[in-house]
Every structure is written in structure tokens, then in C-alpha cells.
């Protein structure tokens, strides 16, 4: 018996199999994106920071919306051409669909790239700077290591990723081939040693009991203790024999090595839990001793955001003075004055608006914004004196003095150097930045994967549809219909994504 | 004899089997490994799931040993599978090992054991046969579904051998603990915690493909005359299960993807502002919500409970009808009940979260829906109970499991009521009471139903019967052992035993050393030589039960493999004298199942029709053949489905 209703519809349900299948699949897709949209609402309502607004490239997003809607029309045209048995016209329309998908993905790639390059720094007082890292600079912590103390209780060899392969580790007994294999051998030796110690202890305990016992009972205990002792000695001998280099420190909880030559280490902030002038602790609990060379972020600043600085109650709330924000220590002369001026103007404008609103609605309370917009400013919009080296900057040893001499409008994007000890949080405009970018990348990334998947399936129909068309044109039309339904769904998801991520 | 009619019919199919005659052209690997035949895929699912059930069972034995005898060396036969890495120097179980096995026991049993066996194996094998379809609607999708499952399973299992070991934070994988676990390892990607998420994505994709396939098959591939109300109840159960999988799994996929982002891309979906790990403030933005993870997880998690259960109830309905020799009582009521149950199961999820502080209004809502869902559950159970009434019951091996299922499942259901109520749940949450409750539903509940199904459909697959003596030897120890394991949990749970104590309460003497049986009472005289029995001593009873259960499965394994080779051959294609369509095919059914499309003439459980020449009237026989001319006339006047 063959499987029925693969091409023609069943009379009582009026459907062929794949059509039911795709609608069911789309139902589960609705639940998938529904889960993400629900998460978006959940995260947005629960956000304890100003939810980003208008930070995405709206024109590009709009172009992508138009492209997807057009491609949805094209796929219908392709399907209709097949229904009318016009294969040539089908090919044209389907090519247009696939091209639309490609253009969409390329645009998306540009958008993502711009976000990956953009960085943000949150200082300890929650004032925020955004900008780009100047060419040739890096935001990693640099350290010159002389000693490494490895913690076996919680640690492992993750830190080796950041240490030069040339570096050699020396213990008191000589050189150690540090690596995954060494850690495994050490663990094995420690286990054997611990087992040997345990058995030895048990044997001593039994011998003690035998002292107190009499007759055959005492003899049995002694025999048992003897056997344990033998096993313990055998294990200890095994450690000695198989792990001669580890004999002395099998079981010790940490070990200090000397690094020869001294290792130059460059490590991202997230891999490090603590650092000082002469110490650096990795996430795997390894402690390096040596000299901290650099722990700073250099940034070509294009944005100042003090909204959280003003709203956080631990800093005194909105009464706090703009001039007190830590970022002005790092920015060139004049920016502070310009910002304060800008803010006062914005505040005045806002107060006027509030007064007008209250005159209009005397009974109601004015809806106070949690984060007034005037606390954030793009440096392009701020007029301040050029970022030449000022006395204040020299005093702090920071600032964009070196880059300030560049011609053109560069003074709007001063380069500042911020030490990590002032930084609360550093990130690109990636999922790490905040939950908005997390959900943005997850939603659009998953959507882009759907576009890619749909484009692959439709390309398959485009390039390999001919033989099926010759055999049974209706079958190919059905397949394109199913693919088209999926394509419409992908389009529809974007139509929801565009407003909630770009506009709202 | 009616059987002669069946034989004639069956033989006719066998001779004309369109596929069997070119069966030899298909190479072995295509026929049995990369097969698109729903029956072979069902068997593949079945054996893979049994292997995973055995693995999950082993994990449980190790845990139970640690609970009853904390600090004592594991016996050699359990320790043999473990490296020294996870054991203390004295050979006892480390807390890390206990946590790992606890998390993986739940994961493996639920996602790799019971669901694939109930839905993948039985659903695949039986559903197309019962509706008279040649195969599933999308055979290649069906194959992909199995291979996705296997890939997910292998991925999940191999995470035990990673440097970090497998996931350790419970089968629910709650954030932010799950986000931070294992992040100190050299590669966060190659840790058990991350691999758990990846494996889940595979398993979810597998269920998704399966669900689409099942629903399409049931809607579009029913044989002529197989109207909705003539569907065997098992098919209804599979249909509802498929819908649950289709709609409930995607939110978990979302949760898995988001947790993967949190671990790999440093996002903070589930990490709130100001989270510390030990003394270190995490280098994350914060602003996320752990509660969101719980919502997404339990939106799957609760329907998942019914995914575990409903196929089992479907199997029980088949077995009960067949062995009581009368129609299921209240077939329509059961169909409507299972549909309502399926719907309600989507709006009860937050009763797992009463302790999160989500607010009294939300709690009250979910308390109400949870109490509501007990109504359809009770309808199902009551109908099956009443079906026993007045039947001439054959206590075959499948029926033994089915009759044990009813009270055991009832026990699990009734003990769930105190958990449904906010107030009592605050006391019982995360105690052994909860463990007892859901294991009664799933272990002596679902598992017993699945055993019933294996014994019931085995002849259809192999043409041989399983040995009844070994079947009894499997059933009785299992029944006793299950109760030995799970009954004491209620006592311990109500006293406050927490579910994640790796030492069985040794370090919580105030709770665990309270007296359960007074010294000198008749019970303690009988069981403990007159000495008092504390609540912690019950651990020994439960662990003893677990080992009895392990021994009790040996006859089953012998029986299963032995009967394939040496089982008694069945003389008739319909050995149980059943009425549903899977018994009208040749045995075993060839690729394509039916020689010609079968036609369905009657309701699924027409047993003991008055005036009929036999006590069963198969769905595939017209009235003249099944009932005889006189009976046919009577049948024409009789309201459909009623027992006159």
C-alpha cells in the first residue's frame, strides 16, 4: 500500500498531507517566537535600566521590511506561475525571492557588524560612555607574569589559553610540561595518594581496635589491618613509580611555579576575577605574580549617558550634580560645561512642557519619566571647546591629548583612557550589553536563521525542481506552496520584530 | 470459530502483501538501520529508550546507595562504571556525583526514556496500524526524528565523560545557578552544563518532527470508515500527546537558546542585577529574570507530565477493553476528558512555582486551574475502573500490569492534590513528598502501562508470545518493590526531608532522626526487633526496594530477548482476540502494513456483542461476517457503542 494524499487532497479533510504538516509546524513556530516575544515583554517590563530607544539603524531596518514583503509577493507569483504551468516565469519569480533573501541577510550583516564594533563603558557611579576603540588599540588587560600559583581544589588549565606557548613552568624539582595532560596526571596521582592515606588511616584504626580486643577477634582485626596496610603501601608505591615527578606534591591543594622567560599576557577582563599592581587572578583560580602593565580601556567617545547615574538612589537620586559624574574626569576640558549647559536647557524645556501639561490636566499627576531624555547626549550634538590637553587632564594622567590635534570635526569624538579600576562594566553592543541587546540579537538571529533556512529550501526548488515538474507539476506547485507558507510566516515575524525592536 | 475468519483474512493479506515480495531487494542497513518503515523506527525507538531507562536506573541505584549509606564505599558492581574521579578516597559517593546523577536521572528518564518509549516506540509502531494507514504521513521525517533523538541522547550521555562531568543543577536546570555552573572550565562549550542545552535542542527538534508527523497521520491517513469516534482510545491519547509536544516544547527551546546565550555570549537573560558568584561580582550587565526561566521551563514542564502519562493511559484502555471482553465504559467521556485535559495542561504550569513569590493573584489562578485539571483525570481513571465492572476478566500478563496501573496511578494523582493547593505546597515543596507523588504517577504509573504495552503488542511484532511465567516473575517483585521505594517518601516528605540531601538526612538529625515507629510497638517488634525506627531508617527500606526492583527486571530482559528467539509461536494473527486494526495484518506486518486499504465497520471495542457468534467483533469485518446474519439485524437497531 502506498501512502495516500501526498499530492491530491483527501476528500473529507480537503487537505493533502504536507499542507497539514506545514500548518502544524508553523503552529509550533508561533509558540517558539511567541516564547521569545513574551520574554521580550517580560524583560522590558522588568528592566531596571533605561530601555534603549532608537539605537538601531531604522532606515536599514525599513529597507529590510520592504524587501521581505516584496519577496513574499514574489513567492506567491512563483506559485501562481506553476499553477498556470509557466515554468519560465516560475524561475524568474523564484530567483527574485532568493535574491531578496540574500540582500536581507547582507543588510543584517552590516547592522550586526556596526554593533559589534561599538563599545560601552559603565563607570562605578553608573555614568555611561559609548564609543569606538581607536585603531590598533585593545581593551585587554596586559600583565608580565613571573610566578603562577595553580589551585587544584577548584582550578584547572583554562588560564593556559592566555599564556604564550613559549613560557616554561619550573617547580622546585625542575621543568613541568604544563597542560591538560599534566592536570589529569596530577589529579590521578592525588586520588591514588588520598586513597593510600585513607587505607593507611583505616589500618591504624583497626590496629587500635585490635589492641583493645581479645582472642580471635583481635587476630581477625590485625589480619584485616595488615591487608589494608599492604594495599595502602602498594598504592603509595604506584604513585612513586608511575608519577615520580608528582610524588612530593600529590595531594597538595596548590602549587607555585616560576615562569621562564617571564610571560607577556593579554587577557580580556571577563577572564579575570581580581588584579592589582603585582597580582592577577584568573577565573579558574590561578594566581599570577608579576607586574601589571596596562589595565585600561581607550575609547573614542561619541555618547554620554547619565540617566542611570541620576536615577540610582545609592548616589543620591536626581538631586545629584551632573558635574560630580566620574566620566568628566576622563573627558577633555569643556565637555562638562557643555553637558551641564545642554542638560539645563533640556530641563528648562521639560519643565515648560510639564507646566503646560499640568495647566491642561489640573486633576491628574504628571507622568514622570523614569529616565529623562536630556540626561543622555551624543557628542556630535554637543558644542564644546576642542579637546586640547588641559591642565586637568595632565593632572589625572588621562585624556585624549595625543589625538586632539587631528583636523576636522574630530574634537567631537575625543579619545579618553579609562582605567579598569574605575569601570563597573565594559562591553560591545552585543548580547552582553543589556537584556535589550540580548533579546535583539536572539530574536533577529533566530529570524535570520529562518530566512537562511527558507532561502535554502526555496533555492532547492529553484535549481532542482525541473525533474519533479516534468513528472508531476502539481507536486512541485504543492511544495512551493508549502515553502511559500513558511516564507510568509518568516515575513510576518519580521513585521512584528521591526516595530518592537527598531521603533518602540 | 471467529478466529478462522481472522486467519483467512490475515492470510489473504500475507499472500498479496505488495511489499513483502520485493523485501529481499532492500539491503539490511536500509531495512533495519536507516529505515523509513514506521514499525522498524518504533522498534529502534523502543530499544534505545530501554537502554536509556537502564542507564537512568543505574544512576538511581548509586544515589539510593548514598542516601541509605552515606560515607560508605559503593559496592563493586556499582562502582565498576565510575572512575575514581567522582568518588571519595574511601570509595563513597561525593556530593558532586550525587548532584550530577540526580540531574541526569531526571533528564534521562523523562526525555530519553519514558517519552521516546511511550510516544516514539508505541506511537510509531501502533498508531498507523490502528488507524489502517500504510505508514506515517512523512516516513523520512519520521526517520529524521529518530536520528535526532539518538544524536541528542548520545550527546547527553557523553557529557558524563567531559572534564566537568555532566550537568549538576537538577533536571530543571534553573538559572542563575545553571548559567554560572561549570564556567570555570577551560572551554565553557565543552562542559556538561552547556552540552545539556545542546542535547535538549536536538531532543526538542526530534519531538517536534514526531508530533507534526503523528497529527498529520491521524488526521489524513485514517482508513475508510475510521471516523473520529471509531478511533481506538490509544490513538486519541497519541493525538493529544502530539499536540502537547508540538505546542509546549518550543518555549523550552527558547529557554535553552537563551540560557545558551547567557553561558556562551555573556548575556543576562536570567541573571538579575548584582549577582555574585562566591565573592566575585559577575561581569554581566544584569537586568534579567530567573523567574522568566522558570515560566518558560514549566510551560513545557507541565504538559510534559501528561506527555509521560497519556500514552500510558491509551495503552491501558486497549488492554483493559481486550481483557475484560467488554467495551470501554464511557468511551466518549474519555475522549472529551482527554481533550480537556490536554487544553488545561497548558494553563497549570505555575503551580510548580508557588514558592517563587510571584504573587497571590497568580498563585490563586493556577491553584484553581490545577484543581480543575483533576476533573478530566478522574474521569479517565473512573471510566477505566468502571470498565472492570461485570467483565469476565482474563488475567493475562498485560492485564496484570494494567490492573496494577489503576490504583498506583490513582495514588499518584490523589497525593498531588495537597501539592495543588498553595498553602500545603509551601510546606511540601521540594520535599520527598513531591518525589513520591510524581514517581507514583510515572514509575508504577506510566512504566507499568508501558510494560503492559510491551507484553500486549509483542506477538504482533514477533509472531511469538512472551513467557507468562517470567512475566509473573517480573510483575510481582516490581509491584512490591515500587511501593517499598515510593510509599515511605510520603512520610519522609511530610516530615520535611529535602529532595536534594545526598546523605539521606545524616547532617539534619533534627528532622531525620525523628521516630517513625515507637520502640516496642508491634510494627517495630515485627520489623526491627523491637527497637525504634526513625524516619531516616526508612532510607534502608527504600534502598532495599530499589535493589529488589533491579533484580526484578532480570526476568523481563530474559523474557524479552528469549521470546524473540524461543517464544511460543502464535497460531493466529489475532492472539488476544482483539478488535482493533493492528491485529488484522499478517504477523509480523510487512512494510506497507496492509495489502489493500482496510475498511472500518464499527466502534473500536465491540466485545461481547449480544447475538454475535464470538465475544469480539473486529473493526475490519462487516456485520455479516463478524456477527452473523441474525446478529447483524440486531446490531442495526442497537445504538452505536452501547452495550445492549
Please give the pLDDT value at position A316. Answer: 55
pTM of the full structure:
0.91
pLDDT digits (tens, 9 = 90+) for B202-248: 999 999 999 999 999 999 999 999 999 999 999 999 999 999 999 99
Give the confidence band of A248 by pLDDT, cuts at 50, 70, 90. Answer: low
Minimum-distance CB partner of B288 among A31, A435, A442: A435
Listed range (A63-67, A265-269, B579-583) with the worst mean pLDDT? A265-269
Contact indicator for B161, B194 with CB cutoff of 8 Å: no
CB atoms within 10 A of CB B263: 22
Please give the pLDDT value at position A385. Answer: 67
Give the confidence band of A353 by pLDDT, cuts at 50, 70, 90. Answer: very high
Element (H, E) at A296: strand A296-305
How many A/B residue pairs have CB atoms within 8 Å? 185
Query: Looking at per-residue confidence, does A153 or A6 come out higher?
Result: A6
pLDDT digits (tens, 9 = 90+) for A220-240: 999 999 999 999 999 989 888
- Rounded to 10°, the helix A180-212/A215-242 angle is 160
Please state, in angstroms and as integers, the Cα–Cα distance from residue A453 to each residue in A78, A102, A447, B210, B637, following that order.
Answer: 18, 12, 10, 20, 57
Please give the pLDDT value at position A411. Answer: 56
Residues 6+ apart with CB under 8 A from A148: A159, A163, A169, A256, A257, A259, A286, A287, A288, A289
A428 CB within 8 Å of a chain B CB: no
Q: CA-to-CA distance for A277 and A272, rounded, in angstroms?
A: 14
Residue B2: pLDDT above 70?
no
pLDDT digits (tens, 9 = 90+) for B15-29: 333 444 444 577 888
Minimum-distance CB partner of A24 among B183, B216, B299: B216
How high does pLDDT run on average in chain A?
A: 88
- What's the gap in Å between the CA of B150 and the closest CA on chain A? 21
Residues linked to residue B277 through DSSP beta bridges, in sequence order? B280
A27 CB within 8 Å of a chain B CB: yes
- Rounded to 10°, the helix A473-497/A58-83 angle is 160
Minimum-distance CB partner of A432 among B285, B295, B595: B285
For A12, which residue in chain B has the nearest alpha carbon?
B220
Residues linked to residue A266 through DSSP beta bridges, in sequence order? A142
Residues 6+ apart with CB under 8 A from A150: A254, A255, A256, A257, A286
What backbone phi and psi angles, to 5 degrees, belong to B544?
A: -60, -45
Listed range (A407-416, B106-115, B389-398) with the worst mean pLDDT? A407-416
* Contact assignment for B273 to A48 by CB distance below 8 Å: yes
Residue B140: pLDDT above 90?
yes
Listed range (A18-32, A248-262, B32-46) with the worst mean pLDDT? A248-262
Q: CA-to-CA distance for B192 and B170, rounded, in angstroms?
A: 12
Chain B residue numbers with beta carbons less than 8 Å from the beta carbon of A34 are: 250-251
Highest mean pLDDT among A221-230, A238-247, A321-330: A221-230
Average pLDDT over residues A400-417: 57
Residue B371: pLDDT above 70?
yes
| Phi and psi based region of residue A86 (left: phi greater than 0; alpha: psi -120 to 50; beta: remaining) | beta
- Hunting for cell 529616565 — which residue is that? A371
- What's the gap in Å between the CA of B635 and the closest CA on chain A? 26
* DSSP letter, residue B599: B
CA atoms within 13 A on the CB side of A369: 16
CB atoms within 10 A of CB B105: 21
* Contact assignment for A446 to B257 by CB distance below 8 Å: yes
Residues 6+ apart with CB under 8 A from A431: A437, A438, A441, A442, B261, B265, B266, B267
Average pLDDT over residues B534-543: 94
Residue A64: pLDDT above 80?
yes
Please give the pLDDT value at position B277. Answer: 81
Please give the pLDDT value at position A35. Answer: 96
Listed range (A185-194, B22-31, B571-580) with the worst mean pLDDT? B22-31
Minimum-distance CB partner of A35 among B183, B184, B254: B254
Residues linked to residue A206 through DSSP beta bridges, in sequence order? none
| Phi and psi based region of residue A204 (left: phi greater than 0; alpha: psi -120 to 50; beta: remaining) | alpha
How far does CA A145 lie from the centroid of its chain?
Answer: 28
Residue A317: pLDDT above 90?
no
pLDDT digits (tens, 9 = 90+) for B103-124: 999 999 999 999 999 999 999 9
Query: Looking at per-residue confidence, does B312 or A174 come out higher?
Result: B312
Listed range (A355-359, B43-47, B231-235) with the worst mean pLDDT? A355-359
Chain B residue numbers with beta carbons less than 8 Å from the beta carbon of A283 are: 183-184
Residue B95: pLDDT above 90?
yes
Give the confidence band of B303 by pLDDT, cuts at 50, 70, 90. Answer: very high
- What's the gap in Å between the CA of A132 and the closest CA on chain B? 19
Q: What does the buried/exposed string (b/e) look like for B140-157 if buried means 16 or more CB atoms within 10 Å of the residue's CB?
A: ebbbbbbebbbbbbebbb
Chain B residue numbers with beta carbons less than 8 Å from the beta carbon of A425 are: 283-285
pLDDT above 90: percentage of residues in chain B:
79
- What's the gap in Å between the CA of A24 and the closest CA on chain B? 6
Please give the pLDDT value at position B11. Answer: 38
- What's the gap in Å between the CA of A350 and the closest CA on chain B? 28
Please give the pLDDT value at position A212. Answer: 87
How high does pLDDT run on average in chain B?
A: 91
Please give the pLDDT value at position B635. Answer: 57
Amino acid at each position: 500500500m502506498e501512502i495516500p494524499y501526498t499530492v491530491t487532497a483527501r476528500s473529507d479533510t480537503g487537505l493533502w498531507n504536507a499542507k497539514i504538516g506545514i500548518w502544524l509546524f508553523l503552529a509550533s513556530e508561533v509558540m517558539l517566537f511567541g516564547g521569545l516575544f513574551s520574554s521580550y515583554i517580560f524583560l522590558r517590563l522588568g528592566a531596571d535600566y533605561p530601555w534603549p530607544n532608537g539605537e538601531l539603524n531604522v532606515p536599514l531596518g525599513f529597507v529590510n521590511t520592504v524587501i521581505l514583503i516584496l519577496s513574499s509577493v514574489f513567492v506567491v507569483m512563483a506559485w501562481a506561475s506553476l499553477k498556470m504551468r509557466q515554468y519560465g516565469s516560475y524561475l524568474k519569480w523564484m530567483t527574485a525571492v532568493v535574491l531578496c533573501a540574500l540582500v536581507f541577510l547582507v543588510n543584517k550583516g552590516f547592522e550586526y557588524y556596526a554593533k559589534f564594533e561599538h563599545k560601552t563603558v559603565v563607570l562605578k557611579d553608573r555614568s555611561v560612555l559609548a564609543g569606538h576603540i581607536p585603531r590598533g588599540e585593545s581593551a585587554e588587560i596586559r600583565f608580565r607574569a613571573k610566578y603562577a600559583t595553580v589551585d587544584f581544589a577548584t582550578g584547572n588549565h583554562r588560564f593556559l589559553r592566555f599564556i604564550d606557548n613559549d613560557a616554561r613552568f619550573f617547580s622546585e624539582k625542575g621543568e613541568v610540561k604544563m597542560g591538560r595532560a599534566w592536570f589529569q596526571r596530577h589529579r590521578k596521582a592525588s586520588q591514588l595518594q588520598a586513597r593510600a592515606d585513607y587505607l593507611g588511616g583505616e589500618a591504624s584504626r583497626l590496629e587500635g581496635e585490635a589492641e583493645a580486643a581479645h582472642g580471635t577477634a583481635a587476630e581477625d582485626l590485625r589480619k584485616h589491618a595488615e591487608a589494608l596496610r599492604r594495599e595502602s603501601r602498594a598504592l603509595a608505591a604506584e604513585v612513586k613509580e608511575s608519577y615520580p615527578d608528582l610524588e612530593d606534591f600529590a595531594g597538595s591543594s596548590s602549587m607555585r611555579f616560576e615562569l621562564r622567560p617571564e610571560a607577556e599576557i593579554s587577557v580580556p577582563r571577563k577572564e579575570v576575577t581580581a588584579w592589582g599592581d603585582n597580582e592577577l587572578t584568573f577565573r579558574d583560580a590561578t594566581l599570577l605574580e608579576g607586574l601589571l602593565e596596562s589595565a585600561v580601556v581607550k575609547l573614542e567617545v561619541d555618547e554620554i549617558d547619565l540617566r542611570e547615574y541620576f536615577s540610582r538612589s545609592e548616589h543620591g537620586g536626581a538631586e545629584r550634580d551632573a558635574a560630580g559624574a566620574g566620566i568628566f574626569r576622563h573627558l577633555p576640558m569643556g565637555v562638562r560645561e557643555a553637558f551641564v549647559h545642554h542638560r539645563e536647557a533640556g530641563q528648562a524645556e521639560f519643565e515648560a512642557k510639564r507646566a503646560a501639561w499640568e495647566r491642561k490636566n489640573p486633576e491628574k499627576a504628571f507622568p514622570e519619566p523614569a529616565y529623562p531624555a536630556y540626561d543622555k547626549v551624543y557628542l556630535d550634538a554637543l558644542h564644546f571647546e576642542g579637546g586640547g590637553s588641559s591642565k586637568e587632564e595632565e593632572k589625572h594622567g588621562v585624556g585624549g591629548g595625543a589625538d586632539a590635534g587631528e583636523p576636522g570635526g574630530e574634537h567631537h569624538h575625543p579619545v579618553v583612557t579609562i582605567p579598569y579600576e574605575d569601570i563597573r562594566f565594559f562591553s560591545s553592543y552585543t548580547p552582553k550589553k543589556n537584556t535589550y541587546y540580548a533579546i535583539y540579537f536572539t530574536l533577529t538571529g533566530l529570524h535570520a536563521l529562518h530566512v537562511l533556512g527558507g532561502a535554502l529550501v526555496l533555492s532547492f526548488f529553484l535549481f532542482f525542481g525541473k525533474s519533479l515538474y516534468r513528472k508531476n507539476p502539481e507536486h512541485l506547485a504543492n511544495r512551493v506552496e508549502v515553502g511559500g507558507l513558511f516564507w510568509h510566516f518568516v515575513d510576518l515575524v519580521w513585521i512584528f520584530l521591526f516595530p518592537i525592536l527598531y521603533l518602540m | 470459530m471467529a478466529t478462522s475468519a481472522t486467519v483467512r483474512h490475515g492470510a489473504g493479506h500475507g499472500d498479496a502483501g505488495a511489499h513483502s515480495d520485493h523485501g529481499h531487494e532492500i539491503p539490511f542497513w536500509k531495512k533495519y538501520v536507516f529505515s523509513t518503515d514506521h514499525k522498524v523506527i518504533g522498534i529502534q525507538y523502543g530499544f534505545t529508550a530501554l537502554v536509556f531507562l537502564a542507564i537512568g536506573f543505574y544512576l538511581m541505584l548509586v544515589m539510593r546507595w548514598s542516601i541509605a549509606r552515606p560515607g560508605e564505599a559503593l559496592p563493586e558492581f556499582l562502582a565498576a562504571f565510575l572512575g575514581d574521579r567522582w568518588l571519595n578516597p574511601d570509595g563513597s559517593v561525593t556530593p558532586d556525583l550525587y548532584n550530577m546523577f540526580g540531574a541526569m536521572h531526571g533528564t534521562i528518564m523523562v526525555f530519553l526514556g519514558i517519552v521516546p518509549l511511550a510516544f516514539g516506540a508505541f506511537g510509531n509502531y501502533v498508531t498507523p496500524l490502528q488507524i489502517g494507514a500504510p505508514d506515517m504521513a512523512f516516513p523520512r521525517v519520521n526517520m529524521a526524528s529518530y536520528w535526532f533523538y539518538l544524536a541528542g541522547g548520545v550527546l547527553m550521555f557523553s557529557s558524563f565523560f567531559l572534564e566537568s562531568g555532566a550537568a549538576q543543577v537538577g533536571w530543571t536546570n534553573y538559572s542563575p545557578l545553571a548559567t554560572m555552573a561549570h564556567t570555570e572550565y577551560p572551554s565553557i562549550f565543552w562542559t556538561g552544563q552547556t552540552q545539556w542545552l545542546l542535547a535538549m535542542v536536538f531532543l526538542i527538534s526530534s519531538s517536534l518532527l514526531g508530533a507534526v508527523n503523528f497529527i498529520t497521520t491521524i488526521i489524513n491517513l485514517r482508513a475508510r470508515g475510521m471516523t473520529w469516534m471509531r478511533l481506538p482510545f490509544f490513538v486519541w491519547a497519541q493525538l493529544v500527546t502530539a499536540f502537547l509536544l508540538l505546542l509546549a516544547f518550543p518555549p523550552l527551546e527558547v529557554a535553552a537558546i537563551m540560557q545558551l546565550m547567557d553561558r556562551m555570549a555573556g548575556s543576562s537573560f536570567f541573571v538579575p542585577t548584582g549577582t555574585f558568584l562566591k565573592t566575585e561580582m559577575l561581569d554581566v550587565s544584569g537586568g534579567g529574570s530567573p523567574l522568566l526561566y522558570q515560566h518558560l521551563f514549566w510551560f513545557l514542564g507541565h504538559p510534559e507530565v501528561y506527555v509521560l502519562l497519556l500514552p500510558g493511559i491509551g495503552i491501558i484502555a486497549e488492554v483493559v477493553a481486550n481483557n475484560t471482553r467488554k467495551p470501554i465504559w464511557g468511551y466518549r467521556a474519555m475522549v472529551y476528558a482527554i481533550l480537556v485535559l490536554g487544553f488545561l495542561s497548558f494553563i497549570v504550569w505555575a503551580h510548580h512555582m508557588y514558592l517563587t513569590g510571584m504573587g497571590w493573584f497568580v498563585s490563586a489562578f493556577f491553584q484553581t486551574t490545577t484543581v480543575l485539571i483533576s476533573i478530566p483525570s478522574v474521569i479517565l481513571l473512573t471510566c477505566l475502573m468502571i470498565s472492570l465492572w461485570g467483565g469476565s476478566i482474563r488475567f493475562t500478563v498485560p492485564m496484570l500490569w494494567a490492573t496494577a496501573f489503576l490504583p498506583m496511578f490513582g495514588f499518584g494523582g490523589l497525593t498531588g492534590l495537597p501539592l495543588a493547593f498553595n498553602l500545603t505546597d509551601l510546606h511540601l515543596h521540594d520535599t520527598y513528598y513531591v518525589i513520591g507523588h510524581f514517581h507514583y504517577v510515572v514509575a508504577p504509573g506510566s512504566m507499568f502501562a508501558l510494560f503492559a504495552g510491551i507484553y500486549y503488542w509483542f506477538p504482533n511484532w514477533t509472531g511469538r508470545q512472551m513467557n507468562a511465567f517470567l512475566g509473573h516473575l517480573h510483575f510481582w517483585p516490581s509491584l512490591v518493590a515500587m511501593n517499598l521505594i515510593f510509599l515511605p517518601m510520603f512520610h519522609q516528605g511530610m516530615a520535611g526531608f529535602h529532595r536534594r540531601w545526598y546523605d539521606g538526612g545524616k547532617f539534619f538529625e533534627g528532622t531525620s532522626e525523628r521516630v517513625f515507629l515507637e520502640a516496642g510497638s508491634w510494627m517495630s517488634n515485627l520489623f526491627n526487633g523491637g527497637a525504634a525506627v526513625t524516619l531516616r531508617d526508612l532510607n534502608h527500606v527504600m534502598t532495599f526496594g530499589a535493589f529488589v526492583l533491579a533484580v526484578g527486571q532480570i526476568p523481563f530482559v530474559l523474557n524479552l530477548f528469549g521470546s524473540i528467539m524461543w517464544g511460543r509461536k502464535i497460531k493466529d494473527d489475532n492472539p488476544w482476540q482483539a478488535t482493533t486494526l493492528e491485529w488484522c495484518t499478517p504477523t509480523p506486518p510487512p512494510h506497507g502494513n496492509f495489502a489493500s486499504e482496510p475498511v472500518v465497520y464499527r466502534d473500536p471495542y465491540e466485545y461481547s456483542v449480544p447475538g454475535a457468534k464470538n465475544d469480539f467483533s473486529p473493526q475490519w469485518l462487516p456485520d455479516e461476517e463478524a456477527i452473523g446474519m441474525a446478529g447483524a439485524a440486531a446490531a442495526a437497531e442497537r445504538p452505536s457503542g452501547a452495550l445492549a
